[in-house]
A and B are shown apart, each in its own frame.
Chain A
Amino acid sequence: KNEVEQSPQNLTAQEGEFITINCSYSVGISALHWLQQHPGGGIVSLFMLSSGKKKHGRLIATINIQEKHSSLHITASHPRDSAVYICAVYSGGGADGLTFGKGTHLIIQP
């Protein structure tokens, strides 16, 4: 079974700072998802990666397949970025679903 570790568990930063959240997994994967969960509980899919790098607005996600590691970066962070960020992996094979990390709780202070 794939083990997914996220770091840090909690992160508090000032508005405008560059944020990095890390995700490591133990077994090779077919896809990695980054999700954002708002304080109200709603979940939004930010990225789905199988290789390389993706960018959407101020968010950048990268994945290194050889090192079994992905990072989510937020540039020019804003208080509205405060949320829990969750990494999830799909190991492939078809019969199993996503395995989730425990999430990183991010607070951006004005």
Chain B
Amino acid sequence: DSGVTQTPKHLITATGQRVTLRCSPRSGDLSVYWYQQSLDQGLQFLIQYYNGEERAKGNILERFSAQQFPDLHSELNLSSLELGDSALYFCASSPTLRRGGLQETQYFGPGTRLLVL
């Protein structure tokens, strides 16, 4: 158990809908990262938040947005869903003691499996 929790574990929805994925980082970790893993693209970095602020951005679509709240939990919002958005979405956290966190060990949550029908 990494100490990172994600809800829900599974989500089935329809095209055009909007969903929210939630992540609670390990106690004390300031950075949260979101990743998408699909069969054709593999793992892709979406976005990093550090202590409530966006720190780094990857291949995140405009239909997707994220935020980190004062209690450090984070939410990833996916809207106007398409079939191709079906994937595993992972959240990870790290302490971020130095250098923005990407040079630290990251602790991964169990993932949310999203199926868009």
Contacts and interface: CB of A to CB of B under 8 A. Distances in A.
Given A41-B88, A42-B111, A97 B45 contact: yes
B97 interface: no
A79 to B, nearest CB: 22
A41 B110 contact: yes
Interface of B: 2, 33, 42-48, 55-58, 88, 90, 92, 99-100, 102-108, 110-111, 113
Contacts, number: 62
Interface residues of A, number: 24
B108 A95 contact: no
B44 A90 contact: no
B45 A99 contact: yes
Contacts of B47: 97
Interface string A67-110: 00000000000000000001010100011111111110000000
Contact of B103 (A43, A45, A50, A96): A50
Interface of A: 30-31, 33, 35, 41-45, 48, 50, 86, 88, 90, 94-103
Nearest to B33: A97
A96 B100 CA distance: 10
Contacts of A99: 45
B42 A102 contact: yes
B58 A97 contact: yes
A88 B103 contact: no
Contacts of B104: 48
> Most chain-B Cβ atoms within 10 A of its Cβ — which of A33, A97, A101, A103?
A97
> Most chain-B Cβ atoms within 10 A of its Cβ — which of A86, A88, A98?
A98
Contacts of B33: 97
Contacts of B58: 96-97
A30 B103 contact: yes
Nearest to B106: A45
